[in-house]
Structure formats: structure tokens, C-alpha cells
Structure 1
Amino acid sequence: MNRNKKPNFPLSTLACVISAFALQAQAQQNTQLEEVIVTAQKRTQAIQDVPLTVSSLDGDTLNELGIDRFDSLSDLVPGLVVQQQSVNNNGYVIRGITSDDGSAPGAARVSVYLNGTDVSRSRTSYFEVYDMERIEVVKGPQATLFGTAASIGAMSFITARPQQEFASSLTVGAGNFELRKLEGMLTGGNETVQGRLAFVTRERAGYVENTSGEADLNGYEREAIRPSLRFTPSDDLTIDLVYNYDKASDPGTAFVSQDVLFTDNAALSVPDNNVLGMNDIGVERTVKDFNATLSWELGNELSLTYIGAQREHDSLEAFDADGTGFEMLNFSELASGDQSSHELRLNFSGERINGFVGASYFEEDATQFVGFATEEGTFLSCAGALSGIGITGCNADSTALLTGGTLTALAYESYYANGADNSSLNLFVDVSYQVTPQLEATVGARLVREKRESSYTSALPVSQIRASQGMMTDLFFGLALNTDGEMIRGDSDNSAVLPRFNLLYTLNDNVNLYGTLSKGERSEVIDMSSGLENLIPAEEIDNYELGIKGRLAGTPLDYAVAAFYQNYDNFQVNVVDQDSGQTRTENAGSATNTGLEAELRWSATENLQLLANMAYIDAGIDDDSGNGTYAGNQFRLQPELTGALSYLYETAISNSLLFTSSGSWSYRSSVYFDIANQFEEDAVDLLNLRAGIAASDRNWALTLAASNLLDEEYIMDAGNTGSSFGYPTYIQGAPRTLSLEFSKRFGAF
């Protein structure tokens, strides 16, 4: 899609803003930046001492910038794009590579970690972002650190831990589109036991008006609660228990045709049915997660960590896939699953050596049931199958015309389902050695043994209209596999060794150089949708990276720049079958990815901090005839250029009051929404601003916030399921939203 929107070029604007504050900064050389601490390498380190490209955002920064959703992270992390069609369908793009496979047999490319546990399955990877200690985003294959799902990177979320001192907070908010928000936490305890209870509820009416009589679409209704306990029976032993409960009852996603995009004329609904699971467009989703972490200091040089987790998810989403008022393409997806994981890790440290060795076990049982409901005459007329008898175009009266008025409608329902029963055993080791005072070398490897079992079943009844015409076929003309409810299965065994090698060189007190060689792998996929066991080979990635991290001498400015090259074999792509609308995985052959990333953090004045980032990516399927249909194509959701500028500002307006403000401006160049490169969106830039007043001791604050302040029109996705039937649809991005929030704190912070 091309809306002929002429975007502002971000880098020149960013440079002007930074230059404007440079003069102020010259007189503020005593301004200090807090050191950023991360645990990306399974130990506590200053971010500049980590020989990886890693971005970190602490809880205070998230709160001050109003980051409370996954997609908002795109503004602050170079090379990261988060797309959310719905709470049930998330896409994570790191360095131009997308991870958004929702099928049960599919494998993730981006590891999403919650308190040290892999929750990367697409349908379970989303959770509410609230009461966080910090978020870390690590780029490039990180199998040694985060497992095979981190074939292109990892996002690690660490929730705030209980503390001994009493503290509590409460935030209430309201805004346009009937926005309501309530968020809070309570913590306290004694030397042995500390507890914390955090919660959030938020809702917003849909911003796509739905004229069908059902609820307006693209809104949300979410609630989450997180009780946690910390036991410290001795100075050497800490036990953390965390339970997460997330529930969503959203009005659903508006897949609209292009002619009603950005209008109030959407007419979307699903019919009363027996297969979709609900009679309205919407999402019902529940995730329950329990995490137990034991940390035991065995002396000055050894520590033992155990992390165990159990996660369950059930999500049902019904949607109108044709984008029109006709009851043609009505689908639902019921996804459910159980995951359990265990990791035991021994960390060691010495004067010149640091590292860890360990083992982990992961297993999951997942299912995806896709229901389909339509009206036979409408479907066949919209598909052009009735043009030979004079019924052209979509005609809701087709059944009546074909039966001479005997019947006005013929309901048709079918389904297909896939399942997965996967397990993996991992052995890993990672060692950093201080070769000289300036040079540190790191060698690591993960041995992975995976067992994967996939299943497939479907039921496609014979069409009554087609049967009356002498053709005993289903509505898909026999082109989709019909197992008549019988389940077929396939399985595979796979082993891999995934190494990494890093060098970190301390050039001086302010500058570190690093280089990385690493290998990643996306698990092989067993596709049973053809009726035969079709093994899609594992996607293999070789990653090469050079970077520099440092602080500009004599100034409070931290920076990081990285250049990378990635080579892919057996690049896996998800495509929608043009006959049945089913999604399958294909091997697109070889691909390459080259890019440059940069970010900086600058205390421009005592009152103003600036955050800036940019990423340039040149990536796609190699233009080689052996790569088939998609040779030379750009990756889905991969912008060539992204950039963002954010600021945090405060100043005293009296002895007891502060003026506070923050904002972010983000830019991404054009993207394709499909690997076939049929649907394109022009460049998009968005502006978010916050301003308010707060007590000088910060125990209360009143903040006015605006997202997409300039009310830019943009889309989140295009093509979708309807495109395989000749009815491409579009998902509208959120318009300008306004909110007013009041926060109150009590106790020690």
C-alpha cells in the first residue's frame, strides 16, 4: 500500500536537536550518568563491559516515557520493531528478521524471556508491561545465553522484586476512546521474607467504528496481577517465587478492505455458528505463569542458580477476514498450550576467569484449532465460482437464486488443526578469560538435542451447492487436505552445537572495542498440511559483528555503535496457501543481512537527558534462481532505516513542585508486509509527548500524555488471510490518544 505520504527524514532533525543542546552541555560537564547494569551474560556487569550489542531500559525510564506496551519498545531500541495485530498475534523484528509464527509446530526466532524463563511461543509471548525492574534487548544469535529460540536475538524482562522496606504506589488514568487505567503495587517484609503485589487493569474502546452492530474494533480490555515472594533464610541463599496472571477480553481486530481504511464504514461481524467458539469478533485470552528462582552463593567464586517455570495459555480469537460486510471469510483460532522448563547453572569467577556451565530441559504441548464459517452461496459468488451461470461478484442472495427461493442461506463450517509435542535438552558452557589487562576472550557453546512431534487434522464437509451441481467437493474445490477428522502425525530428532566467540578490548578508560562470531539455529519444522511428512530443515545463521562502546571523554555521553553481517541457510518463511487460506512454512533458501546500529545516552544539562538511536539494515532473500519465488525479495516487516529521539526533562517551578516532561519521536522507512513484497507501507514517523507536575520528593505526579500526537494515519499490517482469496485486508494503526494520569507513592523508593 502506498499512501504517497512524504516523510520527514529523521537524521537531520535528530542532528539539529542534539546540536541545539550541545551549547548548553558545554557548561554542564559535571553532570553525571548512572552506570547501566545488565545480566545478559548471566552475571552482573556494566553494559560497556559486555561484548555484545545490548540495550537496557530500567523501570524509571520506562515509567517516565510511558512505556507500558511491547510495541512502545520500538521507539527506544535500535533495530527493534514490535508489531501487534492483537494481544494474540505478536511480531518481533530484530535486525530486519521477523519472528511471528503462530502455528503450533512453528519455532520462534526471538527469545522472549520473563524472569529468566523462555516464553517465546508467539501466542503466549505477550504479557502486560508493568512494575518492571528493567528490560534488556540483545541482538544477534544468542543460543549460548538464551537457547535456540534466540536465533536472531532476545528480549529479557525482569520484574521488580520484593523489598524489605514498605512501599506502595497507585496510578489512575483516563482518556479519549474511553481509556481507563488503574495500576499499583505494594511491597514490604522483614529480613527473612519479603512480598510484593503488583497489578494493572486497562481498557480502551476500539478506534475503528464498526457499523455491523458489534463492538468497535482495535480496542483492548486487559487485567494482570503479579504476587511475588522473596525468601532470604541466610546471606547466601535467596529464593524468588513469582506468579503472573494475564487476561484479555479485547473487542478484536479490524481487518478492513482498502476502500474503507481510515473511514467509519467498517461492517465486520461473524455469524452465529458452532465452530468458531464465539458469535462476535473478539479475543479471549488467559495466561498463567509460575516462576521459581533459587540463587545460592557457594563462596566468593561459585554460585548455583536454579530456575523452574510452568506456563499455560488459552486464547480464542474470532475475526472477519474478508474486510467486507459479506459473511464470506469468518475464521477463529483457538490456541492453547503448556510449557515447563528447568535450568541449573553454576557460575564461577576469579581474578582472570568468569563464566558458567549448566543444563536445561524444556517441553511443551501446544495446539492450534482454526475454525471456518461462511454462507455457501455468498462464498461461491465472491470466489467467482458462479459467474458461469450469471451470478457475478459477491451476492448475498446467491443461495436463494440457486434454490429458487427454497433456501435463503446455507451455513458451511469446517476446521483444521495442528499440534506439537516438543522437548529439548540443552548443555551449555561459557567462559570469559582475561588474556591481558586490556583483552578479554569469551568462548561459549550450547549442545541442543530436540525431539519434535507434529500432528494435523481437518474436516471439510461437502458443499451442498456444489453437490447439487454434480460435484462432490468441499467449498475449497478439493484443493485443501481433508482428513475427515483423522489425525496424522510426524516426528523428528535434531541435534546441534551452537558456539559463540567474543573479544573485548579496552582501548582506554572510556572506550571498549568488541568482536563477535556466533552461530544460531531456528528449529526444523514438520509440516503435515499436505498429508505427508514435509520436513522443513533447520534455519542456520552465521553472525559476524564489530562494535565500539564508550563514553565521550570529559562529557556525560555514552554511545554504542555496531556493524554486523549475517548469512542464512534454509531461511524459513510463512506463507498463506492461495487455495485454502492455511498458513504453512517454506524454505526460501539463502539470505543475507548487513547493517549498522547506533545509540547514545546524553545528560545534555542537569535537567535534560537525551536518548537517540538509529539502525540501517540491508537484508533479504539472496537474488539467486535457486531460491525460487522469493529470490531478491525484502523480508517481511523489515525497514531499511529506523531512528528515534527521546528526552527526559524536569525543572523546579517552586520549592515543592517540579515540571516534568518526556517524549519520543520515532521513524521507520517503508516496509513490506509479506515476503512476496506485494503490500507496502510508506515511511512512518510518530510523535509522543508527556508533560506534568510532580512533588519535589516525587511522591505524587499529574501527567498529561499524548500518543501519535500529530494523528498520523498508518497501517500495522496488510494482505493477511483475506489476500489468499483475493480480498486483501489492512489493519489501521492507532490514532492520536490522550490520557491524564495521577500517581501517588507511599513509603521508601
Structure 2
Amino acid sequence: MRAWTAMLLAGGCALAGPAFAADDGVVEELVVTAQRRAQDAIEVPAALTAYSGETLIRLRVADMHDLATFTPGLVVQDKSAADSRFVMRGIGSDDGSSYQEARVSVFQDGAPMSKSRGAYVELFDLERVEVSRGPQTTLYGRSALIGAINLVQRKPSFDGPDWSVRSEAGTYGSVLTEAAGNIAVSDAFAMRGAVRYRKRDGMVDNLLGGDDFGGFETLAGRLSFAWRPTDALDAELILNRQHDDGLGQPYKSRTFNPSDPVTGARLGDLDIRRGAALSAAPGFAGGPLGLDRDVSSATVLINWRLNPATSLNLTSAYRSFDSHQVLDFDGTALPLLTVGDDARGEQQSHELRLNYEPGDHFAFVGGVSLIRDTGHQITPYQIDERLVLALLTGAMDRRNPDLQPMAYYTAPALQAQLLRGVAGASGVTVSAAQASAIAANLNGSHRETYGDYSRSQGADIYGDATWRATEALELSAGLRYGYSEKRSGLSSTLDSRSVLAGFLGALRQPAATRAGLLAALSAPSAATIPTSASYPVPYFGLSAQPTANNGDRNSAELTDRGGAWRLSARYTLAPQTSLYAVYARGRRPEVLSATTPAAPGGAVRFTPVAAEIVDAFEVGLKWRSPEHGLTFDGALYAYDYSHFQTMILQGTQVTISDAGEARSHGLEMQGSWRFADRQELFATYAWTHARFQDGLYRGNHLALSPDHALTVGLDLHVAAPGGSIQFLPTYAVVSEAYFTDDNGKPELATGRFVAPLS
């Protein structure tokens, strides 16, 4: 499935307070810490997009998706706060499993949020946001293979009390309200608090009535404390809490039109932008469609300035998330497949960093980091076996987008006829009476649950040095080496025996075995009869087979070690013009891919997937003309991957596979012209060519990797009594992108919805 998107992001006007930009059209360079030390952005030898907190407000950047609009090479798909995908330069990861590392990570003040279910957080009361593109493993660790998004939160100030309040409203009932306040208790102690409330109604009509799809309501708060006992020591404690409610994702079918499940009346069409007819299956234990998520964190930052050239920095953080989500996975009003996603995780990270900068000619950053995390993802799903049978046999005809009423597909006579047809296609004769008895046992609410678990701990050591060889030339080199131990587990549980799976499996058995199994499946309540000597029929799963004792957890351990490095050079052509070149080697750790048993009660299959390696090359130009209000950044890059780890959907399960080689190369540009005080024209452009190079996916686009993305905008402020009126017309266009690595090609669809039975 692919999509081409064009949108007018803002075309109206808004009241604004005092100007955030510098006066007289002068461009001020933002100080960043992308290389773990303070520098002007032009001095960083890498592609970097950085926005101050004031600029984020001025551009009306409310969330990560908005941030991507103004950042070349970054794509953020936010289906919900707990189901988001970060893609940078054509490469990303969206696997919610507990055991895989991200390729693009979000950080808060350098502390990682590496699990996707807890990484999408609100952008409020920030000092700045830094988006570093390209392999950041050397400085940020294993979860930043392709890039890092660092959210630098606003800290308490010792300058005295201040406060701010702002509120916005827009279409679809959108509301955003923020408040922040600062208190300096003494010269040595200060406090700051901030809160944000944001909501939006659904943007896709619910054709069955009720709340529209895609809406959300979020409340986030932050409390921070700063302590400065001496001029050489700063310590800060930052506490964050966020709660998200979602109204259900518009997971709409592109095969069948929205319809009334009772009458079969057509209610809409296949356009994903228009109304959908979705609901959770009756009796689903996970509840109605939607999201309920909590994210919490506590971060300690300590900066000890030993002398003017040397400082020690400690970043210690604890994070947790608890997410519950329910999806109508089949995308129709019929209760064919409802899926839940219950994910929890806890993470502790600690980094001790030494910064040494004795003068203008040398700088060193190095440290050690420790990380420990535990997590699980439980995926319950409820399946209507009768509808699955109708879909597999073509009674629910994929060639005809209009569905029949639910009663048509579940009629006992039709179900018996379909069973006899399936058997006949396998050369097996089933009597009408036996087919009717088996059809009566097909479960309209068959439930299976899949769970993955992970516990890991690791340690890294790294160093990065910069030497100014001449007044114009800087050379840098960095190295990181890491070690980790990981324990991965998997369980699979059935609430009842799948009669449909047993029937399909029986057709592949020898005649005597087949006859006995079909007779057993004809017994009343065959789905729930316990397995025993008198009824020796195992619990068959429809999409996955159960582990031993119907739910035992199988585990395996993996030890991984490896290194990453980077080499860079920066040449100053003029005081405000910089050229740079970078070669970097990034590494994503080896992972254990877990697959449910091949037969009921069997062992989980753990398959090691080799570490993913990327060699990245980049050259770039950064130019500023402060007196004319002009800025420009451009970069050319090329990535070569080996052992590219990709996700493969097998039934309802996602597994990890080695897809071989992949390549990504492209061009990124961003620029602005501040032609008058508080009047600015800006634009970003990215061309990305990301393709698989071998294997089944050879020639395919990588998922969510548009070849072209362009944003052009104009920020105009007109003076008005008490403030100003802001006009912010912004146009963004993104070329077509595929949602999955298989690019929607039927011949590449792997696995079957119904699991094979041995």
C-alpha cells in the first residue's frame, strides 16, 4: 500500500505575542549539543536541524509529525501515540516487540527512549530540539543507528519568577493549552513546572455512529528542580508524566467497502481519507477500539566543572510506559479479526561523560554508559472462524468490494457447504451431516494470545576527539564499543481449540487419522473439550500454535558485542561558511527472532539474526549570511547496509529476518531568508533513494521512504494592538511511499493467516 500526500498545513492567521526572532532580520546561530558539547550549529560536521523552543511555537509545531514537516529527511507516522514510526533518510523501525533495538531514537536531555511504544511524547516547554541525521551510534549508542532526536527540556532559572500561558484552537475540535512557571527559591535552588493539555476529534468519520476515528486527548506535565551549591556544580531533577487516550485508529480496508454488518448496505468507499465502518468484536476482552497509555520518567543531570577546561557530566534516568491499544485489524465492520496490543517497559540508563577542551585546538568527549531494560508485549486477538472460512473459500469475494450481511456469511447451511468444498478440493469427502456438525462448532469469538518478553543489560565505552589542524581545518574521530546480554522469551495461549484449524489440518493427515479427527471435531462443544486419553485432540491454534501447557514461556539468551566509529573533517571556507565530510560505521545489535511452535505444545523457535551494519558517507555545506538574514544547509549521503533486519508478517505475528543488503542515498537541503523583522521565508527539501539490493525484496522501496519531500512556508507578523497577527501559510508535499517492505506485492506476501499444522 502506498500514498502520495499534499497538504496546506496552515493558511489562516493567529494572534501572537512578542517576537521570538532577533530584531532587524538578523539571524542568530543556535547553540547545540549534538556532539555532546556546546557548539554553534554551523560547527557540527553532520546534518543537523535544530529549533529553539520559541521557534517551535512560532511554527506551530505541536507534535513529532509537525516536527518532521520542517525537517528534511525525517518522516514520522503517528497512527497513535503508542504506534508511531520514525524514519530518517529512508530507514526506520516501528517494531513494537520488546527485544529489538530502534534505528532512530528519541532522547530527553541525552537519556534514551528507545522503545517505540513509549517514545512519542509531547513537545512542550522545551529549550530546543536537535535532529541529528546519519549514524549517531558513536555518541548516542546502539539505538541511534540512523539518527537521533534530542529533546532538550527547559530547566529552572535562578533569575527570578516568570510564568507563561498560551492556548490554541482549530478545526476538528482541536485544543492546545500550555502553562509554565518558574520560581527561584534562593540563589542555590529553583523550581519549574509545566503542563500541556491537547485534544482533537477524529478526522475519519465513524460510519457506524459514535466517536470518529483518529481523535486523541493528552495530558502531560513536568516538574523540575535545580540545585547550584557552588559555582562549579549544577544538579537537576526532571520528572515527566504523560497520559494519552485515543479514539481508535482508522485501520480501513482497501479491499472491502464500509458496510452495515446487519443489512450489508454500503456506507462508504475505499478511500482511506473518507469514512470507515469499524468496531471491536463483541466480547473482546481488551475493550472498545482506542488507546490508553501512560509514560513516566525521572532524570538526574549533574554537571561538575572541575576547571575551565574539564567537566564531568552524569545523566541518570528511569523510564516506564504502560500502553493498551485495541485495533480492528481487518478494517471492516465484520468482526473477522480484532487485535489488542498491551505493552509495558521499564528502562534504567546511566552515563558518566568527561568533557575536556583545553583551548581552541583540541576537544575530547568520552564516557561510559550502562543500560538495563525489561519489557513485554502481549497481543491478544479474537477471530471469527466462520468469517475466516468465508474469506479463505472466496465466499467473501475479494474481487467484489461490497460485503454481504453478517448473517449471510455465518448461516449454518453456507458454512457446512464451504467445509465440504474445502474438503473436496483436497480430495476428501465429508458427509453433509458431519459438515453441519463441524460447522456448528466453529467459534465466532475464538481467542489466541501471543506474548514476547525481554530483559537486557549492557555497557558501552566511547570517546570522540576533535583536533584543529589549522585555523580552517578540523579533524574528528570517534569510537564506541558495546557489550550486552539479552534474554528473550515468547508464549502462546489459546482460550479454546480452533475447530477450523483442526479441520484444515485433518485434511492433510492419513485417512485413519483424518477420520478420527473429523469425528472428534463433530462432537458437541468440540472447541472446549479438554484434551485427555478419551479425547486425544490437541488445542489447535488458528493463527499460531500454543506453547507447552497452553502458555508456557520459552526463553533463550544472546550475548552481543561490537563496535562503531566515525571519521570527519570540517573546513571553514569563510567565517560563516563550512564544508564537511563524514565516514561512519554504525551497528545494530544481533537479535533473536522468535516464532511460535510448529505444532501444538511444541518448542518456540529462536533464530539468531546477524547484527546489521551500515557504512555511511556524507558531505555537506553550511552557509550563513547574518547581515542578509540568509541560511542554507545541504548534504549528500550514501548508506550501504549488510544484514538489513526487516520485519515479516506471518499470520498475525511479526518476526525479524535478515533481508541482506540495502542502500540509501540522497540529498537534503534546508534554508531560510529573514527579509525583514519577523518576516521569514523558509523551505526544506529531501530526495531519498532507499532500496533493497538482494533477496526477495530486491528493488523494493524501504517502508515509509518517499523519494521526494518538500516544505515551503512564509512566516509573516503584522503589528496589532497588544501584540501581532501572524500569517503562516505552509505547503508540504510528499511523494508516494509504501507502508511495508513488501511494497504490497502479492507474490511477496509471506506466511498465511491460518498457521500450518504438522
On the 8 A contact 1:400/1:407 being kept in 2, the answer is no
1:369 aligns with 2:362: no
| Aligned counterpart, 1:398 | 410
- Pair 1:266 & 2:276 matched: yes
* Per-residue CA distance 1:121-149 (angstroms, 9 max, x = gap): 11111111111111000011111111011
Q: Distance in 1 between matches of 2:109 and 2:493?
A: 41
In the alignment, does 2:650 pair up with 1:616? no
Name the residue aligned to 1:629: 696
2:425: which partner in 1?
none
Which residue matches 1:177? 172
Q: Which has more radius of gyration? A: 2
CA contact (8 A) 1:104 1:366 kept: yes
Question: Is residue 493 from structure 1 mapped to residue 488 from structure 2 by the alignment?
Answer: no
| Shift, 1:73, TM fit | 1.0
1:431 has 2:465 as partner: yes
| 2:448/2:541 contact within 8 Å kept | no
Per the TM alignment, residue 607 of structure 1 is displaced from its structure 2 partner at its CA by 3.4
**Equivalent AA in structure 2 for residue 322 of structure 1:** D
Equivalences for 1:67-466 in 2 at 5 Å?
A: 67-164=61-158, 165-189=160-184, 190-258=186-254, 259=257, 260=269, 261=271, 266-273=276-283, 277-351=285-359, 352-384=361-393, 396=407, 398=410, 400-401=412-413, 402=416, 410-460=444-494, 461-464=496-499, 466=502
Q: Which residue of 2 aligns with 1:643?
A: 710
SS of the counterpart of 1:597? strand
Given that residues 227 and 244 in structure 1 are in contact (C-alpha distance below 8 angstroms), is that contact kept between their aligned partners in structure 2?
Answer: yes
Q: Deviations over 1:685-733 (max 9, x none)?
A: xxxxxxxxxxxxxxxxxxxxxxxxxxxxxxxxxx999x9659xxxxxxx
- The whole-number CA distance in structure 1 between the counterparts of 2:7 and 2:278 is 35
Contact 1:193/1:232 (CA < 8 Å) preserved in 2?
Answer: yes
Q: In the TM superposition, what is the alpha-carbon distance from 1:267 to its structure 2 partner?
A: 2.4
Residues 634 and 672, structure 1, Cα contact 8 Å, conserved in 2: yes
Inter-partner Cα distance in structure 2 for 1:394 and 1:338: 45
CA contact (8 A) 1:339 1:364 kept: yes
Would the aligned equivalents of 1:463 and 1:473 in 2 still touch at CA under 8 Å? no
Map of 1:687-706 to 2, 5 A cutoff? none
Q: Cα distance 1:202–1:554, how it changes in 2: closer, same or farther (>3 A)? A: closer
Aligned pair partner of 2:619 in 546, 564, 584 = 546
**Distance in 2 between the 1:426 and 1:33 partners?**
39
Counterpart CA distance in 2 for 1:340 and 1:257 is: 40
CA contact (8 A) 2:77 2:85 kept: yes
Q: Is the 8 A contact 2:349 2:370 kept in 1?
A: yes
User: Which segment drifts farther, 471-480 or 459-468?
Assistant: 471-480
Q: Structure 1 counterpart of 2:55, which letter?
A: T
* In 2: Cα distance, 1:187 partner to 1:9 partner: 36
Amino acid at match of 2:30: V
CA contact (8 A) 2:214 2:249 kept: yes
The structure-2 alpha-carbon separation of the partners of 1:6 and 1:337, relative to structure 1 and needing over 3 Å to count, comes to closer
1:563 is matched by which residue type in structure 2?
L
SS in 1 for 2:298: strand
Q: How big is the shift at 1:312? A: 0.8
Aligned length: 657
Whether contact under 8 Å (1:82, 1:93) holds in the other structure is: yes
Q: CA deviation at 1:378?
A: 2.6
Q: State the TM-score, normalizing by the size of structure 2.
A: 0.82
Query: CA 1:120–1:720 in structure 2 vs 1: closer, same or farther (change >3 Å)?
Result: farther
Q: Is the 8 A contact 1:29 1:554 kept in 2?
A: no
- Secondary structure, in 3 states, of the residue corresponding to 2:568? strand
Residues 1:525 and 2:591 aligned together: yes
Aligned with residue 657 of structure 2, among 569, 586, 591: 586
Q: Could you list the runs of 5+ residues in structure 2 that have no partner in the other structure? A: 10-21, 258-268, 398-402, 417-435, 504-516, 522-536, 597-603
Q: Secondary structure at the match of 1:40?
A: coil
User: Do the aligned residues in 1 keep the contact of 2:498 with 2:541 (CA within 8 Å)?
Assistant: no
Cα pair 2:718 2:724 within 8 Å, conserved: yes
For the structure 1 residues 326 and 482, does the alpha-carbon distance in structure 2 shift closer, same or farther, using more than 3 Å as the test? farther
Cα contact 2:593–2:609 (8 A) shared by 1: yes
Letter paired with 2:457: S
Relative to structure 1, is the Cα distance of residues 516 and 387 closer, same or farther in structure 2, using a 3 angstrom cutoff? closer
Query: 2:171 & 2:679 partners in 1: Cα distance?
Result: 29
Aligned position for 1:672: 738
In the alignment, residue 107 of structure 2 is paired with which amino acid? Y
Residue 479 of structure 1 deviates from its aligned partner by: 6.1
Q: SS of 1:458's equivalent?
A: strand
Compute the displacement of 1:594 (Å): 1.1
Mapped partners of 2:543, 2:440: distance in 1: 27
Q: Equivalent residue of 2:583, what SS?
A: strand
| Alpha-carbon distance between aligned partners in 1 of 2:253 and 2:611, rounded to the nearest angstrom | 36
Q: Give a deviation string over 1:263-287, Cα, whole Å, max 9, x none.
A: 76522111343xx543211111001
Pairing 1:551-570 to 2, within 5 Å after superposition? 551-552=624-625, 555-570=628-643
Question: What secondary structure sits across from 1:71 in the alignment?
Answer: helix
Q: 1:314/1:7 Cα in 2 relative to 1: closer, same or farther (>3 Å)?
A: closer
Distance 1:334 1:652, change over 3 A: same
- In structure 2, the residue matched to 1:700 is none
Q: What's the CA shift for 1:320?
A: 0.8
> What is the Cα deviation at residue 229 of structure 1?
0.8
